[in-house]
Amino acid sequence: MSTYGSFPASRPRRLRTIPAMRRMVAEHRLHPAELILPAFVREGIAEPVPVSSMPGVVQHTRDTLRKAAVEAVEAGLGGIMLFGVPEHKDATGSGGTDPDGILQVAIRDVKAEVGDELIVMSDLCLDEFTDHGHCGVLDSEGRVDNDATLERYAEMARVQADAGVHVVGPSGMMDGQVGVVRAALDAAGHQDVSILAYTAKYSSAFYGPFREAVASSLSGDRKAYQQDPANARESLRELALDLAEGADMVMVKPALPYLDVLHRVAESVDVPVAAYQISGEYAMVEAAAANGWIDREAAILETLTGIKRAGANMILTYWATEVARRLR
């Protein structure tokens, strides 16, 4: 009795006592419709090829990609983001603008399979298609030529939209890319195709496994066009430019090492904000879990919840279908 006064007056633990209470007071919850599955489709293969640095992820055949799209619909996903891996690469990435190139074929396949039940998105970048692995075409000194690359992106946007894509995702970090892509789409009568702008895209070590996934031959790095991890304010400048150029949605990438950037972007816009949980983020969790060092399922949900809490409306994650099934 005499010590009652020294007990805490406030007890936050009351709201953590049982699962039903924790569920009711949760500030954020994940939903399948906000998850987007990035998927790789490789030209000229008869069987899917596992990506060794991303256990559970494959380079799809045209056929298995269609199946993955159907599974995505069944799991209630919001969308699928397609990446093409062409059989032949060249200096200008001509496969990226060939109407019968693997990415365009894949867009048509997926649209034929799932129609408008899933938002079909495509990576709009040249690195999957160039033999030097850069996101654009090179000038005579071997640097990525911004404005010459924009011409290629305009063409890519047109062929991807002709193939039926709902959303294009310009990811090459060329200055002016959103404006050029918007103009190209509009000029071709594709006013309803949206742009998910890779607004803040950092030059990250965590893209490593993706390079295997798209069989990239990049030597060197992308530091002359992707952002420096040391900079956050710069993302707000990229954001203002992308919005002025016509971005419908904006994205921060990678996710986990850049939650502060994601938060700042989410606080300052009135368009939907996406985050891309990239290949290296996936690989880290899978590798630690395979060693028995972390609880795989719990870690996956924790990373996604953290990304949501930081302000993402949509999350691109290689776990999308698995997690969506678990959420149902």
- What gap in Å lies between CA 47 and CA 300, rounded to an integer? 28
Are 79 and 58 within 8 A, CB to CB?
Answer: no
Asked if 207 interacts with ligand PBG (CB under 6 A), we say yes
Using the minimum distance from each CB to ligand PBG, give the nearer residue, 182 or 222. 222
Closest by CA to 155, choosing from 84, 97, 197, 94, is 97
HSE, CB side, 13 Å, CA atoms: give it for residue 123: 26
Q: Is 89 a catalytic residue?
A: no
Among 129, 153, 202, 210, which residue sits at the site for ligand PBG (rule: CB under 6 A)?
Answer: 210
Binding mask 214-243 for ligand PBG (x = CB under 6 A): --------x---------------------
Catalytic residue among 67, 89, 111, 201: 201
| Candidates 61-69, 110-118, 123-131, 227-235; binding stretch for ligand PBG (CB under 6 A) | 123-131
Among 61, 97, 279, 321, binds ligand PBG (CB under 6 A): 279
The CA-atom distances, in angstroms, between 248 and each of 120, 129, 196, 294 are: 15, 26, 6, 37
CB 102 within 8 A of CB 41: yes
Residue 171 touches ligand PBG, criterion: CB under 6 A: yes
Quick check: is 201 catalytic?
Answer: yes
Identify whether the C-beta of residue 153 lies closer than 8 Å to the C-beta of residue 124. Answer: yes
If DSSP states are collapsed to H, E and C, what string results for 197-214? EEEEEECCHHHHHHHHHC
Asked whether position 307 contacts ligand PBG by CB under 6 A, the answer is no
Q: Which stretch binds ligand PBG (CB under 6 A): 119-127, 235-243, 292-300, 307-315?
A: 119-127
Residues interacting with ligand PBG, by CB under 6 A? Answer: 123, 125, 127-128, 135, 171, 207, 210, 222, 278-279
Active site residues: 201, 253
